[in-house]
Amino acid sequence: MGQENSCIIKHFSHYCSLDEDERQLLISLEDSPTAIKAGTLLWEVGDPANEFCTLKSGWAYSYRHLENGDRQILEVFLPGDIIGLREFAFNQRLENVRMINDGVICHFPHRRMLELFRQSLPLTSIMFAIGSRQQALLTERLVNIARRSARQKMAHFLHEMYLRLRQTNDDISGQFRLPLSQEQLADILGLSPVHVSRTFSALSEDGLVFRDRHNVTIPDLDALSVEGEFDDAYLTDNVRPLFDAAG
């Protein structure tokens, strides 16, 4: 894959400018790609945690099963994301990870990350920034589930996904593909599948969101932001000037 098509380079470039050596280091994390089918379990709770993987294409999600059989989806991973960062300090997996649709992943061991740390201070800084951002995403998801109405939850989540996708795809303009089932959306937002369907219908009636199967159209992003009480502070790249100055 050329640099211009590398999702991980696009992801990291969101935080600071990269020189050629840093780009080559990131390209090395996309070596040995493996095609993975939709629904494949990448790992489960209790498995040895000795590697990360980059999501070269496709979507994935992490989740936990509750004692009553319910499932809570914790995080949605998009192309360019690194999966497994939170388990770097642990011997065992803390959550299950499964593919949402067909995709390509690249495995690399923890020791490879340590090599990257030794070779590049800017990439090390970005790794910490990405880890911080993942924590911020989880914090915002917690607030969304616990304190917002169904309409607010859906509006907030769709706005967040749109901005995250736009980070590595400049061609997005008010429309994107959301390969999530109603059951998966329900397990992300803490709703029932029926409530998800009704919420989509209500947002559509108000002209805020239109869904055609897995295609979502947002006519007015600002209006959706108001509906979801969306504040993008946890997604903005406020660290960019610091990294650029350091470089």
The structure's pTM equals 0.87
Burial class (CB in 10 A: 0-12, 13-18, 19+), 37: exposed
Phi-psi region of 58 (alpha: psi -120 to 50; beta: other; left: phi over 0): left
143 C-beta neighbours (distance < 10 Å), count = 11
pLDDT in tens, 3-18: 556 778 887 887 778 8
149-228 architecture in CATH? Orthogonal Bundle (1.10)
The reported pLDDT for the residue numbered 243 is 52
pLDDT (0 to 100) of residue 11: 78
DSSP labels, 81-125: PEE-GGGTT-SB-SSEEEESSSEEEEEEEHHHHHHHHHH-HHHHH
Domains of the chain by residue range:
3-141, 149-228
CA angle 43, 85, 24 (to 5 degrees): 105
E-strand spans in the chain?
34-36, 41-43, 51-57, 60-65, 71-77, 82-83, 96-99, 103-109, 175-177, 210-212, 215-217
Q: Does domain 3-141 have CATH number 2.60.120.10?
A: yes
Q: What is the pLDDT of residues 22-47, one digit of tens each?
A: 888 888 877 788 999 999 999 999 99
Per-residue pLDDT of the chain (247 residues; tens, 9 = 90+): 455 567 788 878 877 788 898 888 888 877 788 999 999 999 999 999 999 998 989 999 999 998 888 899 999 999 989 899 889 889 999 999 999 999 999 888 888 888 888 998 888 888 888 888 888 888 999 999 998 999 999 999 999 999 999 887 877 888 999 999 999 999 999 999 999 999 999 999 999 999 998 999 999 999 999 999 999 888 875 555 445 544 4
